[in-house]
């Protein structure tokens, strides 16, 4: 018989290929992989993500990092726990062109404490080139916390 952790991960894996929220749906961000302490999300930047300089707006990278880091932490939660972003840090390495194909953001939980989690993330293009990287700190709330 599967344990609670296995059942929870199976429920989360049902999100693969989906946009987990209204914001991610609007931006076209989908979940492509989930496993304990790790998540990968994907987006294909287009004209709708552009800025006035003809490249992709940096907010897309921030949204991808926030989504992937949140999903990675969610894979570590116990029943009744929830999480929220406390701090998000993004470093831009290369510009992203709206016609450059899909980009992936992989996030890995570095530390998961009772109340806080730290997660690292990197965004790469189809050739594996680093485009952006960042980190997040997330609070972990129990169902008893207010």
Per-residue pLDDT tens for 93-134?
A: 999 988 889 999 999 999 999 999 999 999 999 999 999 999
CATH number at residue 25: 3.10.129.10
**Within a domain: residue 13?**
yes
**Within a domain: residue 77?**
yes
Residue ranges for the chain with pLDDT beneath 50: 1
**Within a domain: residue 81?**
yes
What are 128's strand-pairing partners? Answer: none
pLDDT of residue 56: 92
pLDDT of residue 1: 42
Tokens standing for 57? 């707006």
d(CA 65, CA 72): 10
**Within a domain: residue 146?**
no
The total number of structural domains that make up the chain: 1
Residue 8: which domain range? 4-141
């Amino acid at each position: 018989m599967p344990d609670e952790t296995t059942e929870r991960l199976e429920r989360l894996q049902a999100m693969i290929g989906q946009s987990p929220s209204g914001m991610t749906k609007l931006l076209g961000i989908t979940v492509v992989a989930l496993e304990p302490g790790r998540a990968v999300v994907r987006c294909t930047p287009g004209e709708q993500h552009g800025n006035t300089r003809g490249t992709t707006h940096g907010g897309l990278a921030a949204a991808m990092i926030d989504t992937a880091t949140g999903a990675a932490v969610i894979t570590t939660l116990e029943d009744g726990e929830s999480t929220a972003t406390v701090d998000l840090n993004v470093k831009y390495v290369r510009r992203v062109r709206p016609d450059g194909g899909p980009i992936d953001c992989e996030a890995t939980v570095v530390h998961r404490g009772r109340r806080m989690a730290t997660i690292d993330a990197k965004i790469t293009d189809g050739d594996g080139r680093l485009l952006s990287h960042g980190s997040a700190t997330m609070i972990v709330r129990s169902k008893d916390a207010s």
